[in-house]
């Protein structure tokens, strides 16, 4: 999505540790008109799939997931990061290594909100090593639900999460894929869709 690439070039800040900050429009202040355009684009890319639920992970995926869900007219479920899980049989759970916080979270979803009848689109803001998306895929597997696709705003293509997901046959679309980034420039992979 050209508009996203331009916005990242204009407003993104590259931080040590391969972190891209996009706090001006996605991760702190949220540019709703712009996020709306990303939501529409996800609808276009996944319109051939029978999606009845969107799954994301708190906190930064929730905004883009909710806006996208307005175009699919489906509920959003966000996996919760939990500090003390009480595994009483009512939850699906997995562990996810956080790229930005350098720690492992227990992540849970209630069995009430993810079931074998669900056809799920995963939406998240970033894809780096794939830990977050793989954890969500694990929860979908535990529930016996069907993964219909994964929609990512910004994929860091120099980390291997995206290539591994595509190699395993996941229907993954990223609105912008970064091949390399430095203080001075961000280089995007060309996409023809
Ligand atoms: P992964 O689990 O694929 O390694 O990393 C993806 C998760 O880490 C996303 O949910 C996102 O919140 C966070 N993340 C990874 N890389 C970046 C980055 O460069 N900038 C920001 N703001 N978040 C990132």
**Could you tell me the residue ranges of all domains in the chain?**
2-83+90-188
Protein residue closest via CA to atom 5 of ligand 1: 128
Looking at residue 46, what is its pLDDT?
A: 98
161 lines ligand 1 (CB under 6 A): yes
Q: Using the mean position of ligand 1's atoms as its centre, give its distance from the Cα of residue 177 in Å.
A: 13
CA distance 82 to 84: 6
Buried b (16+ CB within 10 A) or exposed e, 120-138: bbbbbbbbbebbbbbbbbb
- Amino acid 183: pLDDT: 87
At residue 63, the pLDDT reads: 97
CATH C-level class of 2-83+90-188: alpha beta
> pTM here?
0.96
Q: What is the mean pLDDT of each run of 10 residues along the chain (193 residues)?
A: 97 94 97 98 98 97 98 98 75 91 91 98 98 98 98 98 98 98 92 69
Measured in Å, residue 2 CA sits from the centre of ligand 1 at: 21
């Amino acid at each position: 999505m050209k508009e996203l690439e331009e916005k990242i070039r204009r407003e993104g800040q590259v931080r040590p540790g391969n972190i891209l900050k996009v706090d001006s429009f996605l991760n702190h202040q949220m540019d709703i008109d712009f996020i709306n355009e990303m939501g529409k684009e996800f609808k276009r890319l996944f319109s051939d799939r029978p999606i009845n639920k969107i799954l994301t992970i708190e906190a930064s995926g929730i905004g883009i997931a909710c806006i996208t869900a307005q175009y699919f007219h489906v509920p959003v479920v966000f996996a919760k990061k939990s500090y003390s899980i009480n595994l009483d049989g009512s939850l699906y759970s997995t562990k996810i290594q956080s790229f930005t916080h350098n720690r492992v979270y227990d992540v849970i979803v209630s069995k009430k909100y993810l079931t074998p009848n669900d056809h799920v689109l995963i939406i998240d803001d970033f894809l780096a090593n794939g830990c977050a998306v793989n954890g969500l895929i694990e929860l979908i597997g535990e529930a016996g639900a069907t993964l219909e696709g994964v929609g990512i705003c910004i994929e860091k293509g120099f980390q291997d999460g995206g290539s591994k997901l595509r190699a395993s046959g996941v229907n993954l679309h990223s609105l912008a894929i970064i091949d390399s980034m430095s203080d001075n420039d961000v280089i995007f992979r060309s996409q023809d869709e």
